[in-house]
Structure formats: structure tokens, C-alpha cells
Amino acid sequence: MTKFSRTALAGLLISLSSAALADQPTVTNAWARATAAGQPNGAAYVTLTTTSPDTLVAASTPVADKAELHTTLDDNGVMKMRPVEAIALTPGTPVTLAPGGYHVMLFGLHQPLTPGATFPLTLNFKSAPATTVTVTVGSPGGMTAPAMHPAMHMDGMAGHGAMSH
């Protein structure tokens, strides 16, 4: 029994270490709030899960001039955004970027983010290679990923956000 246990333990350690070498944070629920025509900035959100310690250090997207990592602080009842240099990722503790908390700030949108549209977002990590995910645009005041609100995909939104000039 002892020999079997040692063999099993060794096998477990090998699989753990190889998983650590190949670690890539998993990105789910990539979404953004819709923006109105002329609104210069937007925000994107993701949920990050990792199997080894890592750090989200930057983001970029072709739909905006610049993307910054931001957090939201409650300053005596006034919600204020602040840039952060990094967002720490801890194994076993998913980090959810969401309205009122961490977000990827999108400065200088090249066009309005219309509900149902998608765009690529590249995330850079301290250890893992960069990864590019597809962000789905939700509703203007949405608080969660659009996939959690199937009713939103109705055709009533057709034409919303169209340029009026």
C-alpha cells in the first residue's frame, strides 16, 4: 500500500507541475457596457481564473485608442475610478471585473459599442503569454455579462446606436 501511495503521489506532483508550466489564466464572461453615440469612453469586464499565481498587467483593443486597468473606489459615498498597475490573480480565487469594481477602461472609442456587437480584447499577464478574447457588448446600464440575460437578445434593439448624422 505504501509503495502504491508513493507512486500515486509522485504522479500527482508531476501532473501538478506540468499544469503550472502550461498555466494560462482562463478568461470567461468577457463583456462590455453599450455606449451612446459620441460617448468617448467605455468599459470592458472579464472573469479571470488561474491555476498558478499571475498578474494582469495591461490590456489593449483595436476599438479604442487606449485601454487601462481601473478600479473603483468609494470616496465618502462618491464612486471614483483609479488606474491600477496590476490586478493580482490567485489560484482558486476567480477575479471578476465588474461595474463598481475592477474594469478595463476603454479611452477614445472609435465607434459606439452597440448591444450584441463583439470586439477583441487582448490581456497581458506578468507570467503567462498574452491572450485575446472576444468581448460581447451588453446593455448600456448592464451590471452583468449579457449571456446572463437571454431576454436582451431581442430584435427590439435593432437600429439602436445608429448614427443620426
Quick check: 81 binds Cu ion (CB under 5 A)? yes
Judged by CB, which is closer to Cu ion: 105, or 157? 105
Q: Which H or E run includes 134?
A: strand 131-137
Judged by CB, which is closer to Cu ion: 80, or 153? 80
Quick check: 84 binds Cu ion (CB under 5 A)? no
Quick check: 58 binds Cu ion (CB under 5 A)? no
Looking at 32, 35, 70, 146, which residue binds Cu ion (CB under 5 A)? Answer: 70
| CA pair distance 74, 51, nearest whole angstrom | 31
| Contact (CB, 8 A) for 100 and 79 | yes
Quick check: 105 binds Cu ion (CB under 5 A)? yes
DSSP 155: G
Q: Which residues bind Cu ion (CB under 5 A)?
A: 70, 81, 105
